[in-house]
Amino acid sequence: MTDFLYSIFVGPFADMIALPDFLMQVLWEGFVAGVLYALIALGFVLIFKASGVFNFAQGIMVVFSGLTLVGLYELGVPAFMALIITLGVMYVLAFSVERFVLRKLVNQPDIILFMATIGLTNILIGLGQWIFGGETKTMITEQLWLPTGSSVWEPNGGLVIFQHIDIAATVIAVLMIVGLGFFFSYTKVGRALRAVADDHQASLSVGISLNQIWVIVWFAAGIVALVTGIMWGARSDVSFSLQIIALKALPVLVLGGFTSIPGAIVGGLIIGIGEKIFEIYWGPLFGSGVEGWFAYVIALIFLLFRPQGLFGDKIIERV
């Protein structure tokens, strides 16, 4: 019994102190995973704020955009041309979702809209496999001028490895979030988006077109998905299993709050770092693989005590 308690409450911490370099490596890995979770969650939040739709298809949009990019490149399109065409595809997707799905479902209960996005997920999975094939693809990292390789840092005896692509992913994510922040605060469209997020009817009455805003916001989510797809694809590979991993954005959202962009980022980092630390130090206790459910269980506990998340608006209705 004492052994068991020791292995829960003392052992892992002793390990952490004994090998600080390894701890740092774990933290870094968790941090990068967290950045990517945050990016997926960001796509969810954008759409949820602007249209109240919980877009279940965000995960598959990540896969679909990455797949389109690599697929086009394999067809012989130059890398940057492929990037631009993929952006075009994401715009067409945003436009058709608004025109053929959202517009027809205005005023339906949220749950119906949610199920419609699950249907959309199915369409995108089918289309992606149909056009580009279901096999795993390698992301075109070098052709997009993304760094490869790694640097080793030796602080005190041990070594910490930083993959260059991870650093690039972090930098790009930060740039994108800052960019989005500017876009929301200083441009006309961005302000219109915020107005719509605040109050649909009020923004309609001052002449903001909801339909246009929805296209824009789905397109923005598409861009976020593309960036996430490139980064995640560069770290592992572009495959449809990514879609299941992308579901982890849901616990991230529960933690951060469904309506808060900072919440998505902080939530992503907490989940990313938390699950890596838990997997490495406490995982052996349960048998490995705890990464799969750790995030969800944390979210479940959170839901019981603070359902609006860390930063969310207190909109949740108590039953």
Partner 1 sequence: MFYREAGQYNTTYEQDLQAFPIKQDKIGIAIWLVLAYLFVPFFGIPGLEYGFAMNAIMIPVLIFTITTIGLNILVGFTGQISLGTGAFMGVGAYACYKLTSYFPDTNIIILILASGFVSAIVGALFGLPSLRIKGFYLVVATLAAQFFLEWCFIRVGWLYNYNPSGAIEVPQREVLGWIVTGPSAEPMTRYLVVLSILVFLAVIAGNLTRGRIGRSWMMIRDMDIAAELIGVRPLTAKLSAFAVSSYFIGVSGALMVFMWLGAAEVESFDVNHSFLYLFMVILGGLGSITGSFMGAAFIWTFPIILKELGKSWFGINATVMENVSLVAIGVMIVVILIAEPHGMARLWQIVKQKLRIWPFPH
Residues lying near partner 1 in the complex (CB under 8 A) are found at 54, 100-101, 104-105, 108, 110-112, 114-116, 118-127, 129-130, 134, 244, 247, 250-251, 253-254, 258, 286-287, 289-290, 292-293, 296-297, 299-300, 303-304, 307, 316-319
Among candidate residues 263, 244, 241, the one with its CA nearest the CA of residue 252? 263
How many angstroms separate the first and last alpha carbons of the chain? 41
The DSSP element (H or E) to which 265 belongs, if any, is: helix 261-277
Give 116 or 265: the residue with its C-beta nearer to partner 1: 116
Closest CB to partner 1 among 23 and 249? Answer: 249
Contact 125, 117 (CB under 8 A): no
Find the shortest distance in angstroms from Cβ 122 to partner 1.
3
Q: Cβ 34 to partner 1, closest distance in Å?
A: 18
DSSP string, 131-158: HH-SS-B---TGGGT---SEEEE-SSSS
Give 235-255 as a 3 state SS string.
HCCECCCHHHHHCCHHHHHHH
CB of 166 to partner 1, least distance (A): 25
Which CB sits closer to partner 1, 192 or 253? 253
Cβ closest to partner 1, residue 63 vs residue 173: 63
Decide whether 26 or 250 has the Cβ nearer to partner 1. Answer: 250
Q: Angle at CA 68, nearest 5°, toward 35 and 79?
A: 85
Read off the amino acid at residue 229: G
Which one, of 277, 29, 276, lies nearest residue 163 by Cα? 29
Q: Which is nearer to partner 1, 115 or 176 (CB)?
A: 115
Pairwise CA distance, residues 38 & 41, whole Å = 5
CB of 112 closer than 8 Å to CB of 211: no
The distance of closest approach from Cβ of residue 277 to partner 1 in the complex, given in angstroms and rounded to an integer, is 18
Residue owning tokens 């109240």: 52
CA distance 229 to 249: 14
Smallest distance from partner 1 to CB 64, Å: 13
In the complex, minimum distance from the CB of residue 286 to partner 1, in angstroms, rounded to a whole number = 7
Instruction: Work out how close the CB of 158 gets to partner 1 at its nearest, in angstroms, rounded to a whole number.
Output: 31
Give the shortest CB-300-to-partner 1 separation in angstroms. 4
- For residues 225 and 248, which CB has a smaller minimum distance to partner 1 in the complex? 248
Q: What is the dihedral of CA 92, 94, 98, 99, to 10 degrees?
A: 0
**Residues 146, 30, 46, 256: what is their CA dihedral angle, to the nearest 10 degrees?**
-160
Between 102 and 261, CB nearer to partner 1: 102
Distance CA 129, CA 49 (A): 31
